[in-house]
Chain A
Amino acid sequence: MSSATLEIVEPGLLTTVQDAGRYGYQRFGVPVSGAIDVFALKAANILAGNAQDAAGLEMTVVGPRVRFLADTWIALTGADLGPLLDDRPIPMWESVAVPAGAILSFDGARDGVFGYLAVTGGIDVPVVMGSRSTYVKGAIGGHLGRALMASDSLPTMERDGHPDPTNNRLPDHLGAPRYGNTHEIRVVLGPQDAAFTAEAVQTLLGSEYSVSIQSDRMGYRLEGPVIQHRSGPDLISDGTPLGAVQVPGDGQPIILLSDRGTTGGYAKIATVISSDIGTLGQAMPVDTIRFATVSVEEAHAILREREQVLRDIEKAVRGAAAEAVSIRIDGDAFEAVDDSGRLVSAPAVEGRVESEATRHARVTVDGRTFEFDVEVQRAD
């Protein structure tokens, strides 16, 4: 049982425990929840020496005041909420050593909406339906199913022998993102663009929308030119993907985010690509949004670049250690072991060995994905 590592002195506007989301239970009507800007949370985790899908704190516009009860390391990413450690400014997008007793506070948002705090080891709250994310409306997951309050204390998990995350930073060729106040958001048309007039698609792509003050983790409401349906907004209720641009009867789009309901009955003209969900989430009320359309294949290429950025950060952080994992083939199964021979992944089959060949293998270990070219030789 781990002891408390941090204590909330003041909670800020809306501070919740989030990870990469709760998948597998949408069929029971359980929303995915999870960080709005998953990329930023994953980057924070890597910098703090954690698995990418560890739980951290998502902070909204007004950051919390947090007292640390043990020596640890942290990494801050996402929105710049003005972080201070014992009243002195500290950098974001790199690991910072924090002594027991230190106070983390924030002196005001400068850029973006959702800031992320990763603490080495990861926030340790119970795993509910496979995730530590908080779904506040349903009182599910996180810390007691709710937003953090003053005097809550949170444990972190043991670091499990990983090296200390000292001086972890972005590789030289990567800069910290600037979110700004004008956001170009890429969408794939559909699933129900056919329910709209041809002009409606032109309106969506050719106009500027502003983010409404009535936006939250469930969805971002936009204000701008009306988007016309062909024959009404209602369809037979179906699944609601992340980033769906649904258009109710008033013609003002709503983009569905982490806390969205799992199903809905409004037609969805387009869907924001996964790589741009974080950017959209960092848009403040009254910020300007412009849409551009890409194909599914283009969106996949953009996502691959995005994943490469995370891999580059891992490589910079882990240095040679990232290269020291080897693959062993046992029948059809690949097992990943580290250089001391310790098994670090359960067997995962990604392909069958049919002949001697060089195969590309992919193994996910503690949320980190490794890709290899493997020389396959038959054992006999």
Chain B
Amino acid sequence: MSDKLEKYQDKTPEQVQERAYLAPRVDIYENESELLLLADVPGVSKQSLTVHLDKEQLLIEGHVEEPKVGALLGGEFQAVDYRRSFILPPGIDGGRITADLKQGVLSLRLPKAEGLKPRQIQVKAG
């Protein structure tokens, strides 16, 4: 059976390559003006990281290129890509989101829309 399958795959012109995905671990913090999302994406360079916002859906994707170092003698990790998506709460100003990648940690700053920030309301004496 597997022999047949292999033969079949040899003949198919287009090989479908399947990539494994791992959800990166994240921390999410909030202050008055923004949400701050930190994600561990070791092995991802600036060029191979994409942060995509579609309406309220935020998608983080990172591609890991495994360098050809030599023969693997013992291993505890595999080069897998990262992928995770979040639904943003209403009131995030999508146009002002900034992303920064340092030492394999992505920092995403998600500013709150101006109108939703807490405001101090002055009480006037009559």
Q: Do they bind each other? A: no
Binding site for B on A (CB under 8 A): none
